[in-house]
Amino acid sequence: MAWVVLVVSGVLETVWAAALEASRGFSRLWPSLLFLVALAASMAGLAYALRTIPVGTGYAVWVGIGAVGTAVYGMVALEEPASVVRLLCLAMIIGGVVGLRFAG
């Protein structure tokens, strides 16, 4: 159960990062509120998962999921570049996250 919560919390990290960008420096109400709700839920989920998952593993997985999700969101929704090198680097992060899950 802790791993499911951790993955959902990582996805919520992507949500709050996207909402932060959409808030335009907290000048727009709804994206700012979404940022706050997603941030609180993401942190709460991480805290829950760290009850049973070691902090180094849990934090690295949480950040990895959030980083990849945010980068993919940027490429898909914000027309950021999606070069082969960038995609390969994101694939390496995913490989690291999966490796941490099954390494112990």
Enter the pTM of the model: 0.93
Question: What local confidence, expressed as pLDDT, does residue 49 receive?
Answer: 98
Mean pLDDT by 10 residues, the chain (104 residues): 97 98 98 98 98 96 98 97 97 95 82
Name the amino acid, one letter, at 5: V
Torsion of CA 71, 75, 81, 87, to 10 degrees: 60
Question: What local confidence, expressed as pLDDT, does residue 104 receive?
Answer: 62
Report d(CA 41, CA 80) in Å as an integer. 27
Helix residue ranges per DSSP H, the chain: 2-22, 29-49, 55-77, 84-103
- The answer to whether the CB of 64 falls within 8 A of the CB of 94 is yes
Select from 89, 88, 97, 44 the least CA-distant residue to 66.
97
Question: What local confidence, expressed as pLDDT, does residue 103 receive?
Answer: 85
The residues, ordered by sequence, that sit 6+ positions from 56 with a Cβ below 8 Å of its Cβ are none
Question: What local confidence, expressed as pLDDT, does residue 89 receive?
Answer: 97
Question: What local confidence, expressed as pLDDT, does residue 36 receive?
Answer: 98
